[in-house]
């Protein structure tokens, strides 16, 4: 492909210092690329994302611990952001009830401009720090809550306003950004998670690598915290809500796999457990009713492994072979 003769502009110090706003020297000719070359270039950049997230393992783990403490105290995780960042927080929050059986108020996603901004861009909304602060008041944020601001550029005024107010109200705060944030933003975050993925394929388009990195971090935060409070048994999702045919089937298969009973019996057990997989497993293992199962779980922080000492059955050789075949 043709080479642009003058690349001095690529990372000129006179331009925006934020990594997310710099030009990527590896994709300056992407406008001349074939469809396959576009795929290859974007995919090559995406390979950088996982390592950037891994570099933040310690602050991510620290934030998981904060969220676990909040959940155990009956408090909440609130994501707040604008544009793509806000949409990713709302997405992660909306996935928690069906996956982990949580109440809708346990993990909350807030986007600048309100729910209309999920479908219709309201870009100017990100520039109002007072609006971010007002959201914290409207949500009754207080001590014990964890507020995670998402700002790919690290500078979004709406997010800064929210974190500033959240801290004043006694909440713990964290920031997810894909560039080094300014001192004013660092000052209002107890923890900074900074998966710096480098300049985007298209300059400033943080829906690309930065968005992917943000989604991975959000996955880690909620999944890690939910595991810590007992939402899994081994790697089985035992607090899912069977709200559709697929999830009902999954719930029955989990009960069958762990207990060894037939599907009809698993279905009957789930009915007696009001559809709660975790409750059903304890009822079956200990031979108790639903109320007793709940009491035993509550006494052990909701963690099945502390109530039922046996580990889940190992993955069968058939499953292992199938996975190996797909990987080969």
* Terminal-to-terminal C-alpha distance of the chain: 34
Are the CB atoms for 276 and 255 separated by under 8 Å? no
- Of the residues 21, 95, 180, 300, only one is catalytic, namely 95
- Which residues touch 305 (CB under 8 Å, ≥6 apart)? 233, 311
Cα separation, 80 vs 87, whole angstroms: 9
Longest dimension (CA), the chain: 76
62 is catalytic: no
Between the alpha carbon of residue 98 and those of residues 89, 92, 233, the distances in Å are 16, 11, 16
Active site residue 37: no
Measure the CA dihedral 125/144/277/259, to 10°: 130
Out of 126, 135, 200, 252, the active site residue is: 126
* CA–CA separation, 124 and 45 (whole Å): 29
Which residues are catalytically annotated? 95, 126
């Amino acid at each position: 492909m043709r080479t642009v003769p003058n690349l001095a502009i690529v990372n000129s110090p006179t331009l925006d210092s934020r990594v997310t706003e710099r030009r990527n020297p590896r994709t300056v000719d992407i406008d001349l690329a074939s469809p396959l070359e576009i795929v290859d270039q974007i995919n090559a950049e995406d390979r950088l994302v996982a390592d950037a997230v891994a570099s933040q393992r310690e602050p991510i783990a620290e934030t998981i611990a904060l969220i676990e403490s909040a959940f155990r105290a009956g408090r909440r995780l609130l994501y707040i952001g604008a544009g793509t960042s806000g949409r990713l927080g709302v997405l992660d929050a909306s996935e928690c009830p069906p996956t982990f059986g949580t109440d809708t108020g346990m993990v909350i996603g807030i986007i600048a401009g309100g729910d209309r901004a999920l479908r219709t861009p309201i870009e100017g909304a990100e520039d109002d720090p007072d609006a971010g602060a007002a959201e914290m008041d409207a949500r009754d944020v207080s001590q014990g809550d964890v507020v995670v601001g998402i700002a790919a550029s690290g500078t979004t005024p709406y997010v800064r306003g929210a974190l500033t107010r959240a801290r004043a109200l006694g909440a713990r705060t964290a920031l997810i950004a894909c560039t080094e944030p300014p001192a004013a933003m660092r000052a209002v975050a107890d923890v900074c998670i900074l998966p710096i993925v480098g300049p985007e394929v298209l300059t400033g388009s943080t829906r690309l690598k930065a968005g992917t990195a943000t989604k991975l971090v959000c996955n880690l935060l909620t999944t890690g915290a939910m595991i810590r409070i007992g939402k899994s048994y081994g790697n089985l999702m035992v607090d899912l809500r069977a709200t559709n045919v697929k999830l009902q089937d999954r719930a029955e298969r989990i009960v069958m796999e762990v207990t060894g009973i037939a599907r009809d019996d698993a279905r009957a057990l789930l009915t007696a457990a009001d559809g709660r997989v975790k409750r059903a497993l304890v009822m079956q293992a200990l031979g108790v009713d639903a109320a007793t199962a709940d009491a035993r779980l509550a006494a052990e922080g909701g963690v099945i492994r502390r109530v039922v000492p046996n580990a889940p059955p190992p993955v069968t050789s058939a499953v292992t072979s199938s996975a190996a075949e797909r990987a080969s």
